[in-house]
Amino acid sequence: MKERLTCEGITKDFVNPRSGEILRALGPIDLAISKGEFLAIVGPSGCGKSTLLGIFAGLVQPTAGRAFIDGKLIQSPGLERGVCFQDYALFPWLTVQKNVEFGLRARRVSANKRYDTARAFIARVNLAGFEDRYPHELSGGMRQRCALARVLANEPEVLLMDEPMAALDAQTRQILQDDLLKIWGDGSTRRTVVYITHSIDEAVYLADRIAVMSARPGLIKAMINNDFPRPRPGVREMPEFARRTNEIWQLIRDDALEALASTQK
């Protein structure tokens, strides 16, 4: 079956501890993601994108509905679903090398094999030479790459990424986006990627499909087929690019304005 990640009827409610009021943060969501697809999720703050990712990751339990990977129910984290967190979540007490080895260590891979595998992936993300540095000694872009290497070292079939480039400056971001696409692969070796971002530009540049979410409750407002041909180095100059980003922006705009107003209350 070509569907890699699916979910049906996913909802997530939060209970206000003081008033007992139930707030529906997310859902209901139905989604089907194909093998090797790059899906981006965009939406205003508070629309539940991170929660949805958390459900796919097995870190968050939905209030209702179920999520599946290759037909199997998702209930807890698993190696086949690698997660890249927003602030990288690198272990500050471990060097780059040791951070990347972590998942291998958890699987009891032998020390030699661990060392070599980690080394290879560190090189793949262009971080060679920094293996013995600690996270706090690295720049934002380097930390991002370290987090990526750590996830990739386990060769997951699915990559779940929660605003991985949010904390980076624009130039670093562009370089890393291209790196990510390279790592994403070609043809049949392509991994499935679910990529959350605030940046519409980024979504249109990277993704095959874009899910546009609205907030309160978080729902998928629209599914955009983003079928620009790959590779896409010059796509940003194309007029269709601007049209597509504008189209998405129009969908989000009202929600975004409302989100802004509510935070100022």
Partner 1 sequence: MLGRMTRGAPVQWARPVVRYVVSLGSFVLVWYAASRWENNPNLLPSPQVVFKQFVLMVQSGELLSSVWSSLGRLLLGYALGALVGVPLGFAMGMYLPLDQYISPLIEILRPISSIAWLPLGLFIFGVGNALPLFIIFYGSVFPFVINTIGAVHQIDNRLVAAARTLGAKRWLVIFGVIAPAALPLVLVGARIGLGIGWMAVIAAELVGAPSGLGYLITWYETMLLSSRVLVGVFAIGMVGYLLDLGLRKLSAWLTPWWDGWRAND
Question: Is residue 62 at the binding interface for partner 1, with CB under 8 A as the rule?
Answer: no
Min CB(76)–partner 1 separation in Å = 8
Question: Is residue 157 at the binding interface for partner 1, with CB under 8 A as the rule?
Answer: no
Q: How many residues bind partner 1 (CB under 8 A)?
A: 28
Question: Is residue 87 at the binding interface for partner 1, with CB under 8 A as the rule?
Answer: yes
The candidate with the shortest Cα–Cα distance to 85, out of 193, 162, 150, is 162
The candidate with the shortest Cα–Cα distance to 168, out of 148, 186, 191, is 148
Among 3, 45, 46, 59, which residue sits at the site for partner 1 (rule: CB under 8 A)?
59
The candidate with the shortest Cα–Cα distance to 187, out of 79, 35, 80, is 35
Return the range that interacts with partner 1 (CB under 8 A); candidates 2-10, 26-34, 55-63, 168-176: 55-63
Q: State how far the Cα of 201 lies from the Cα of 245, in Å rounded to an integer.
A: 6
Nearer to partner 1, 117 or 226 (CB): 117
Q: State how far the Cα of 162 lies from the Cα of 85, in Å rounded to an integer.
A: 5
Question: Is residue 78 at the binding interface for partner 1, with CB under 8 A as the rule?
Answer: yes
Question: Is residue 247 at the binding interface for partner 1, with CB under 8 A as the rule?
Answer: no
The candidate with the shortest Cα–Cα distance to 163, out of 177, 142, 152, is 177
Question: Is residue 138 at the binding interface for partner 1, with CB under 8 A as the rule?
Answer: no
Dihedral of alpha carbons 97, 188, 204, 162, sign: negative
Q: State how far the Cα of 34 lies from the Cα of 249, in Å rounded to an integer.
A: 25
Return the range that interacts with partner 1 (CB under 8 A); candidates 20-28, 34-42, 133-141, 217-225: 133-141
Return the range that interacts with partner 1 (CB under 8 A); candidates 21-29, 80-88, 110-118, 119-127: 80-88
Pairing type for strands 64-69 and 158-162 reads unpaired
Question: Is residue 77 at the binding interface for partner 1, with CB under 8 A as the rule?
Answer: yes
Question: Is residue 17 at the binding interface for partner 1, with CB under 8 A as the rule?
Answer: no
Residue 30: helix, strand or coil by DSSP?
strand
Residue that is written with structure tokens 């609205």 in the block = 214
Nearer to partner 1, 90 or 256 (CB): 90
Among 17, 20, 71, 92, which residue sits at the site for partner 1 (rule: CB under 8 A)?
92
Q: Which residues contact 123 (CB under 8 A, 6 or more apart)?
A: none
Min CB(146)–partner 1 separation in Å = 12
Q: State how far the Cα of 23 lies from the Cα of 216, in Å rounded to an integer.
A: 9
Residues that bind partner 1 (CB under 8 A): 57-59, 76-79, 81-83, 85, 87, 89-93, 102-103, 105-107, 134-136, 150-151, 154
